[in-house]
Structure 1
Amino acid sequence: MDATHLFELVIAMFLAIIALHYLARRLGLPPSVALLAGGATLAFVPGLPAITVDPELVLVIFLPPLLLDGAWSIAVGRLRRHMVGIASLAIGAVFFTTVMIAVVAHLLMPALPWAACAALGAIVSPPDAVSARAVLERVKLPRRLQILLEGESLLNDASGLVLFRFAVAAAATGTFSATSAIGNFFLLAIGGALVGAVVGTVWVKFVRRLGDEYLIIAATTLLAWISYLLGEFLHVSGVIATVTTGLVATWHQHTVLSAATRMRGTSFWEVFVFLMEASVFILIGLSLRDVVERGGGFGQLAETMALPALAILLALVVTRFAWIFGSELVIRVCNGLGLAKTAPIGGGGVVVLGWAGVRGVVTLALALSLPQDFPDRDFILVMAFAVIVGTVLVQGTTLGRVISWAGLTEPESEKARMTMSEAEAAMAQVQFASVRDLAYDRDGKLIHPQLLERYQRRATAIIDYAARTEDYKPVLHAHFDVVLEAVAVGRKELIRLHRAGEIDDETLQELERDLDLEELSAISAKA
């Protein structure tokens, strides 16, 4: 396949993404399910060339920006507060799952070497950041469960990658040391965190000197690959390096980025990440063709692999529930003995966390990266694909109903001390105080009476609204509906003037930008 045909396929893939997302929205399906099914269907279209996915390239292209995006949008304060629980899922659960899946695989195929069993366990053990985001975007969770799942999906890839590499090395050499594996894992993690902290700090200092919003957005886009590739080059965890860089950047972005940079950067980044996430699921579906052909067709695969795949999938779910339930039990025992004061997540939280382990791009890339002469490589590939498809189709489509059934509520300890209205009132008071000080000249003469009156009126209204939010909501909704209608009428007149030749393109663009900002402000305030 030449470069032109490859580019045509990429454009066709993006068109398919748009169509499948639209179809998923119309049918009420999770987009990940539609994209996975669509990719699998496209893979078997007659005349379409087979798509060969380079696993290392998939990891390098897709994983860093998606990890950075997850770190950028995560609540750093809650991440720090719940780091023990996140580490339990991202490290403990991955190690435990790897061991249990290795045991189940060995029972299913006694001839399969233990190193190959461990490799399968490491491949399917980490829930995926991309898949988790695709699922969590459609559901509403209490803050604690949300941060546990987000934090787990950011950090567990490092655990899975380290275990996988040790398993592959053990298969090649015939030796394995658990002590060495654990020690190396912590060295890789600490090294990755140091690299990420350095890259993030350099970014903060660099952005402060750039000054140009387009250069800042471009530099921030490259940040993910810089930290990941530098971490891998220094033989530490590129995953941890990227996540740490993202956490440093998100902590400082409120002070180093201008409003214009933040608005334009957010718009660009959301579209970019949308295409990246969707492309991953399409590629997973397209990769299915090679696995099916190597396995002798759907019929042969169903006959020989269906029961083992179902057993692995059930073992994966049961193992995750066992770890989370066991952790909850340990928390309750420690609280009862007075050794800790961590609030348990409750039965509903255990069910939701246990059911949220969707697999995706990392599982795909690790499975495809197995050496060609690896023991029972095809069996491991089929099991990995079965886990991806099973978790996305079953858990991804039903998680919303499981959350509704669990009847989860937000604990008081997780609620913010101030509501949004109270925070807005505090901000308005400070703004009014600043304007009041600057509204007079050195001789005490009022030089900005209208500005002072405007900010005083605004502060009074916001404080009053914070005290009687429910009373004002209907009035405010009606108020901003009128604002939006006025914006629409103004936009229509602006376009009429432009079409009639009364104003030039520059005037249209400047006034349209003002209307856009007014519309976005009204929509945000109404929401």
Structure 2
Amino acid sequence: MHPTQLFELVIVMFLAIIALHYAAHRLGLPPSVGLLAGGAALAFIPGLPTIAVDPELVLVIFLPPLLMDGAWSIALARLRRHLIGIGSLAVGAVLFTCVVVAVVTHLLFPSLPWAACAALGAIVSPPDAVSARAVLQRVKLPRRLQILLEGESLLNDASGLVLFRFAVAAGVTGAFSATEAVGSFFVLALGGALVGAAVGTAWVMLVRRLGDEYLIIAATVLLSWTSYLLGEMLHVSGVIATVTTGLIASWHQSNVLSASTRMRGTSFWEVLVFLMEASVFILIGLSLRGVVERGGGFGVVVSTMGWDILAILVALTLARFAWVFGSDAAIKLCNLLGLQRYKPIGARGSTVLSWAGVRGVVTLALALSIPDGFPGRDFILVTSFAVILVTVLVQGTTLGWVIGWAKLTEPDAEKPRLTMSQAEAAMAQVQFAIVQTLAYDSQGELIHPKLLEKYQRKAVAIVDYAERTEHYTPLIHAHFDVVLEAVACGRRELIRLHRAGDIDDETLHELERDLDLEELSAMSAKA
């Protein structure tokens, strides 16, 4: 394909993303479902060349920024609190699922080497960070389940990648050592954490010295790829390196980034992540044509592989249910024995957690990276794609219904000690105290009476609001509705003045920025 044609195809893909995302929104479907189905439909348009996805390139381009985004936005306190549960899912569930899928595959195909069966298990065992984000953005979960799923999706790729590499090596060389595999996993994980810590610390030091907002934003955008590539270059886990870097950057960003940098950077980053996340599902859909052609066409795939693939899908799903319910039963047993650190999430919570195992780009990339001549390569590729399709199209669309059925509630232990209104009241009290100190000169004369009055009135009002939130909420909404209408009216007048030639472009943009900030502030306060 000519480079110009490739660029044209990328532009068409971005336009398709906008159209499919809008269509999914109008139909009430998860965007990932619309994008995947749309990409699959586009793949079979006559005249469109078959899309050959380079698995290594896909992982390098898409995985680091999406992992970084997840690590940046994750709740660190809850991550530490539930680290054992996250580790159980990210390592234990992946390993258990890999073993179950390998055993079932070997029962279906006794002639297939164990290494090939294990490779398939490693490919389909880790739920995907991109797919998990796409699903979780549309549902409301209790904090504990939310952090378990987010943490699992960030860390389980490392487990899957290690298992896959050892399985492929065993299939090629015929040698496998479980002890070596376990030792290698811990070395890769520890090395990745050290690399990520070094890169994250270097970013904090660099940002403190850079004075230009755009340089800071550019350095932050490149942070994920830097950490991932450096980790892979040093032969440790690039996934763990990227996640560690993201956690460190997230922890320090409030101190090292200015408000303006944070606003501009966040806006740019959110658009970038949106396009990359959507592109992943489009690429998965576009890859369908090549996968089906390798299997001999839809008819051949369904007739020769259909029941075997269905059996593996059932085993994959039941394995996750078994691990989650078994872990919850183990917690209940520990409670009976007097160990009360963790509380069980119950049958309904376990059902939601089990049903949320959606696969995506990592599964596709690993399947495509299987070397030619590897035993059972075509079956592994078709099965992996079927797992992605079923989990995204079925579990992704029904997870909201499952959550609604479960009627989950937030345990008191997971709720923050202060509400948002109480936190605002605490901030207002501190702000008033410092203004009260600085409002007087060295002779004790009041030099900022209006400022002092403003902050005193604000502190009193917010404390009163925190104590009677339900009473004031309708009044607050009505107040900021008026503010937003005033902003809209001011914007119309500003545009009229500009169109009439009474003000220049510089004045338009400066005053427009002030109105934008006022509108954002009012919308935030109303929400």
- Match of 1:415? 415
Distance 1:393 1:230 in 2: 35
Is 2:128 the counterpart of 1:138? Answer: no
Q: Which moved more, 1:306-315 or 1:159-168?
A: 306-315
- Match of 2:402? 402
Offset, 1:294: 1.4
Distance 1:211 1:74 in 2: 27
Is 2:189 the counterpart of 1:184? Answer: no
- Match of 2:318? 318
Q: Which moved more, 1:306-315 or 1:259-268?
A: 306-315
- Match of 1:352? 352
Q: Deviations over 1:479-516 (max 9, x none)?
A: 00000000000000000000111111111100000000
Distance 1:306 1:449 in 2: 78
Amino acid at match of 2:326: G
Amino acid at match of 1:208: R
Distance 1:330 1:24 in 2: 40
**Mapping 1:172-211, distance limit 5 Å:** 172-211=172-211
- Match of 1:51? 51
Distance 1:211 1:98 in 2: 49
Is 2:450 the counterpart of 1:468? Answer: no
Offset, 1:340: 4.3
Distance 2:305 2:101 in 1: 16
Offset, 1:141: 0.3
Q: Deviations over 1:217-276 (max 9, x none)?
A: 100000000000000000000000000000000000000000001100110000000000
Amino acid at match of 1:116: A
- Match of 1:519? 519
Q: Which moved more, 1:300-309 or 1:373-382?
A: 300-309
Q: Deviations over 1:138-166 (max 9, x none)?
A: 00000000000000000000000000000
Identity of counterpart residues, as a percentage? 78
Is 2:161 the counterpart of 1:161? Answer: yes
Offset, 1:339: 3.4
Distance 2:321 2:91 in 1: 15
Distance 1:300 1:8 in 2: 33
Q: Deviations over 1:64-119 (max 9, x none)?
A: 00000000000011001100000000000000000000001011111111000000
Distance 1:235 1:388 in 2: 28
- Match of 1:229? 229
- Match of 2:275? 275
Offset, 1:399: 0.2
- Match of 1:335? 335
Offset, 1:347: 1.2
Q: Deviations over 1:116-151 (max 9, x none)?
A: 000000000000000000000000000000000000
Match of 1:190, SS state, is: helix
- Match of 2:297? 297
Distance 2:436 2:341 in 1: 47
Amino acid at match of 1:435: V
Match of 2:431, SS state, is: helix
Distance 1:123 1:172 in 2: 16
Is 2:17 the counterpart of 1:23? Answer: no
Match of 1:52, SS state, is: coil
Distance 1:72 1:141 in 2: 19
- Match of 2:381? 381
Match of 1:216, SS state, is: helix
**Mapping 1:119-134, distance limit 5 Å:** 119-134=119-134
Offset, 1:431: 0.3
- Match of 1:451? 451
Distance 1:334 1:142 in 2: 23
- Match of 1:32? 32
- Match of 2:480? 480
Distance 1:129 1:33 in 2: 16
Offset, 1:173: 1.0
Across the two proteins, how many residue pairs are aligned to each other?
A: 527
Offset, 1:452: 0.6
Q: Which moved more, 1:353-362 or 1:306-315?
A: 306-315
Offset, 1:304: 1.0
Is 2:101 the counterpart of 1:110? Answer: no
Distance 1:110 1:365 in 2: 26
Match of 2:389, SS state, is: helix
Match of 1:489, SS state, is: helix
Distance 1:152 1:18 in 2: 29
Distance 2:521 2:442 in 1: 35
Q: Deviations over 1:174-199 (max 9, x none)?
A: 11111110111001000000000000
Amino acid at match of 1:229: L
Amino acid at match of 2:502: E
Distance 2:355 2:442 in 1: 66
Amino acid at match of 1:450: K
Offset, 1:291: 1.1
Distance 2:39 2:439 in 1: 62
Offset, 1:341: 2.5
Q: Deviations over 1:308-344 (max 9, x none)?
A: 1111111111000000011011111111111342111
Amino acid at match of 2:242: T
Match of 2:111, SS state, is: coil
- Match of 2:500? 500
Amino acid at match of 1:332: K
* Structure 1 runs of 4+ with >3 Å offset: none
Amino acid at match of 1:331: I
Match of 1:50, SS state, is: coil
Distance 1:216 1:129 in 2: 26
Distance 2:34 2:422 in 1: 42
Distance 2:446 2:346 in 1: 60
Distance 1:522 1:109 in 2: 63
Distance 2:326 2:181 in 1: 24
Distance 2:98 2:144 in 1: 26
Distance 1:339 1:77 in 2: 22
Amino acid at match of 2:91: I
Distance 1:305 1:20 in 2: 30
- Match of 2:85? 85
Distance 2:335 2:45 in 1: 58
Amino acid at match of 2:287: S
Distance 2:246 2:220 in 1: 10
Distance 2:376 2:203 in 1: 45
Distance 1:330 1:376 in 2: 37
